[in-house]
Amino acid sequence: MTNMEEKYTVTVGRLDKKGFGESILWRANELGNKRKLRLVIPESLPGEKVRVTVAEPHRRWQRQSPDEVLVKHKDRVEPRCPHFGRCGGCVWQHLSYEGQLKEKEDWVKSLIEAEGFSTDLVRDPIGMENPWFYRNKMEFTFSTEGDLGLHEQGNFREIIPLKECYIMDQEMKDAVLEVGTWVKDHEFPGYDKDSHTGLFRHVMVRKSFETGEIMLAIFATEAYEDVSFAGELVERIEKKHPQVKSLLWLENRDIADVAQAEKIDVLLGRDFIYDELVGYRYRLWYDTFFQTNPTQAEKLVEIALEMVEPKKDESMFDLFCGVGTFSLPFASHVKHLSGVEIVESSIESAKRNAKDNEVDNTYFLAKDARRGIDEIIEKFGVPNVILLDPPRSGAGGKVMRRIGRTGADRVCYVSCNPASFATDIKELEAFGYKLQAVQPVDLFPQTVHVELVALMSRE
């Protein structure tokens, strides 16, 4: 232990928004004045007494895993994954699933209570029967040495080589590891973010749990034709992983370290896979946004239908509609549905998905939500129902006020971020809307994230 390090025994006060324990430590400085240190303690739980080493006591906050847990939380369990603690994929494997659901419920309640809504409106969260192997899409990154894995927790530059992953489907893991093994067999270099050199950057894998089809998308800095032994990779995948119906090579020379492509080659199969949700079939490309937990995504759709109770003589808007995840199931229950989405490729997919499923009472518009509302009202009139499923940042005050001014009877809000949801729905109160129900749904076990479906109706 260096002279700078100090050891303390502290009690964890609460969990922060990232799911880490937090404790406030007061220490006296050389003048005898009290100095506050906020300790962020991963792998700890509220009420636990832990021993921690503070490496830089002069700082105002520090992140540090516990050296030892002296008094354990009643819901503490042994983490299942050998990578837990280092890997950034999960943060709550040390908390029982019942404990996770309770934390998520309490978080949703605290957020809506802060905006003046009653916590009695929050229903018990809907969890998973099996909270493992639920993800149908994952992205992995290559280290400069060519190891394939996930980013280290809190350190974007460090990669944890993949051996196990208990939140993704196992067939997906095996297919991804085949790519990783091929890269290591031939000693190909991974991409170096500092020098902007190296060959392989990312691998994206997605699977349909309904059709069994898998897509593998390999992001590299060179063209497929210029990489030796690339044909061998195709042979390996074709022979060992017949469920891979789309093997893509995506050329990306851009300095920005994101999974994007300047050129796409289809090495095997087609450039998309088929998936199904609540009986509707969708085409998924490598960059298609689709719910990553299909089991719980179906419950989101079913809950929204149950709350809204759409009728055959009603019209409806689906804002932030994406590829039509909610649009198609709702369209069969209403007279007409209009979908709005700013991403043009998603709108094209939504149109194609509607056609594939013989849904002919929809209209899809590529425009931002606020202006899209105006254009659709001009074309089809005021809707009876508005459903919105915005990104994590929420819809925002301008969009919510525009929704309020429509005077639609019912507004159904599907949220992947209860914090932005709570501030968004507050905007509707001024327009005579009252919150009726909030149903949390756990789409991401072992993490802090929780989604919800809520209904507001105009009085």
Do 12 and 62 fall into the same domain? yes
Do 171 and 319 fall into the same domain? no
Helices (H), 322-368: 327-331, 344-356
| Residue 180, pLDDT above cutoff 70 | yes
Q: What is the pLDDT of residues 309-324, one digit of tens each?
A: 999 999 999 999 999 9
Residue at token pair 């990306």: 252
Do 214 and 296 fall into the same domain? no
Do 314 and 365 fall into the same domain? yes
- Output the domain CATH number for residue 443: 3.40.50.150
3-state secondary structure at position 400? helix
Q: What is the pLDDT of residues 387-400, one digit of tens each?
A: 999 999 999 999 99
In a domain, 270, yes or no: yes
Residue at token pair 């949801």: 421
Buried b (16+ CB within 10 A) or exposed e, 53-86: ebeeeeeeebebbbeebeeebebbeebebebbbb
In a domain, 78, yes or no: no
| Residue 2, pLDDT above cutoff 50 | no
From 244, 277, 310, the end of a domain falls on: 277
3-state secondary structure at position 334? coil
In a domain, 90, yes or no: no
CB-based contacts of 2: which residues, under 8 Å, 6+ apart?
Answer: none
Which of 147-161, 178-192, 389-403, 420-434 bottoms out in mean pLDDT, i.e. has the lowest?
147-161
- 3-state class percentages of the chain: helix first, strand second, coil last, to nearest 5: 25, 30, 40
pLDDT at 56: 79
pLDDT at 156: 75
Q: What is the pLDDT of residues 38-75, one digit of tens each?
A: 999 999 999 999 999 988 777 888 898 899 999 999 99
pLDDT at 94: 97
In a domain, 87, yes or no: no
In a domain, 284, yes or no: no
Quickly state the pLDDT bin for 4 (edges 50, 70, 90). confident
In a domain, 380, yes or no: yes
From 277, 307, 322, the end of a domain falls on: 277
Q: What is the pLDDT of residues 357-385, one digit of tens each?
A: 999 999 999 999 999 999 999 999 999 99
Pairing mode of beta strands 433-441, 200-207: unpaired
pLDDT at 1: 43
From 218, 247, 277, the end of a domain falls on: 277
81, 87, 412, 416: the active-site residue: 416
Which of 88-102, 137-151, 152-166, 278-292 bottoms out in mean pLDDT, i.e. has the lowest?
152-166
Do 446 and 310 fall into the same domain? yes
Q: What is the pLDDT of residues 202-236, one digit of tens each?
A: 999 999 999 999 999 999 999 999 999 999 999 99
Do 40 and 166 fall into the same domain? no
Q: What is the pLDDT of residues 7-30, one digit of tens each?
A: 999 999 999 999 999 999 887 766
- Output the domain CATH number for residue 48: 2.40.50.140
Average pLDDT, the chain: 94
Do 215 and 252 fall into the same domain? yes
Number of domains in the chain: 3
pTM metric for this prediction = 0.92
In a domain, 85, yes or no: no
- For residues 220 and 336, give the distance between their C-alpha atoms in angstroms, rounded to a whole number: 44
The residue range of the domain holding 299 is 102-129+289-458
CA dist 1 → 54, 56, 70 (Å): 10, 12, 21
Residue 430 DSSP code: G
Do 324 and 432 fall into the same domain? yes
- Output the domain CATH number for residue 145: 2.40.50.1070
CA dist 382 → 268, 314, 356, 387 (Å): 47, 10, 28, 13
In a domain, 84, yes or no: no
CB-based contacts of 175: which residues, under 8 Å, 6+ apart?
Answer: 205, 214, 216, 237, 241, 243, 244
Q: Is 412 labeled as catalytic in the residue annotation?
A: no
What is the four-CA torsion angle of 219, 220, 224, 227, rounded to 10 degrees?
Answer: -140
Do 265 and 141 fall into the same domain? yes
Share of the chain above pLDDT 70, in %: 97
Do 216 and 272 fall into the same domain? yes
| Residue 153, pLDDT above cutoff 90 | no
- For residues 62 and 10, give the distance between their C-alpha atoms in angstroms, rounded to a whole number: 14
- Residues linked to residue 27 through DSSP beta bridges, in sequence order: 35
Residue 84 DSSP code: T
Share of the chain above pLDDT 90, in %: 85
Do 293 and 414 fall into the same domain? yes
Do 200 and 349 fall into the same domain? no
- Of 117, 238, 112, which is closest to residue 182 (Cα–Cα)? 238
